[in-house]
Amino acid sequence: MAPGSQLCLLFLLQFLQEAAPRSFEVDRQRGIFLLDGVPFRYVSGSIHYSRVPSPLWSDRLHKMRMSGLNAVQVYVPWNYHEPQPGVYNFQGNRDLVAFLKAAANEDLLVILRPGPYICAEWEMGGLPAWLLQNPEIVLRTSDPDFLAAVDSWFHVLMPMVQPWLYHNGGNIISVQVENEYGSYFACDFRYMRHLAGLFRALLGDQIFLFTTDGPRGFSCGTLQGLYSTVDFGPDDNMTEIFAMQQKYEPNGPLVNSEYYTGWLDYWGGNHSKWDTKTLANGLQNMLELGANVNMYMFHGGTNFGYWSGADFKKIYQPVTTSYDYDAPLSEAGDPTPKLLVIQSVISKFQELPLGPFPLPSPKMKFGPVTLKLAGDLLNFLNVLCPDEPIQSHLPLTFEAVKQDYGFLLYRTQLPQNLTKPTPLWVKNNGVRDRAYVMLDGVSQGILERDKDEALFMTGQAGSTLDVLLENMGRISFGYNISDFKGLIQPLVLGDVVLTDWLLFPLNIDALMDSKNRVFETQELNLKSSSGPAFYSATFQLPGPPWDTFLYLPGWTKGQVWINGFNLGRYWTRRGPQQSLYVPGPLLLPTGTPNIITLLELEHAPPRTQIQFLDRPLFNATLH
**Binding region for ligand NAG (CB under 6 A):** 185, 237, 239-240, 269-270, 416-417, 460-461, 480, 482, 484, 572, 575, 578, 619, 621-623
Residue 224 or 480 with smaller CB distance to ligand NAG? 480
Distance from C-alpha of 331 to C-alpha of 271, rounded to nearest angstrom: 14
Residue 183 or 270 with smaller CB distance to ligand NAG? 270
Distance from C-alpha of 14 to C-alpha of 601, rounded to nearest angstrom: 68
Please tell me whether the peptide bond between 55 and the residue prior to it is cis, using omega within 30 degrees of 0: no
Distance from C-alpha of 90 to C-alpha of 96, rounded to nearest angstrom: 7
Cα dihedral 571, 577, 581, 582 in deg (nearest 10):
30
Distance from C-alpha of 561 to C-alpha of 536, rounded to nearest angstrom: 9
For residue 484, the minimal CB distance to ligand NAG (Å) is 6
What is the three-class DSSP state of 159?
helix
Q: How many CA atoms lie within 13 A of 435 on its CB side?
A: 33
* Cβ count near 207 (within 10 Å): 21
Report yes or no: 392 and 501 within 8 Å, Cβ to Cβ: yes
Residue 14 or 480 with smaller CB distance to ligand NAG? 480
Of 617, 470, 607, the closest CA to residue 550 belongs to 617
Chain mean position to CA 507: 21
Residue 170 or 234 with smaller CB distance to ligand NAG? 234
Residue 8 or 461 with smaller CB distance to ligand NAG? 461
* Cβ count near 518 (within 10 Å): 17
For residue 461, the minimal CB distance to ligand NAG (Å) is 5
Task: Write out the catalytic residue numbers.
Answer: 180, 258
For residue 553, the minimal CB distance to ligand NAG (Å) is 8
Residue 183 or 619 with smaller CB distance to ligand NAG? 619
For residue 265, the minimal CB distance to ligand NAG (Å) is 10
What is the three-class DSSP state of 245?
helix
For residue 64, the minimal CB distance to ligand NAG (Å) is 30
Report yes or no: 447 and 434 within 8 Å, Cβ to Cβ: yes
What is the three-class DSSP state of 147?
helix
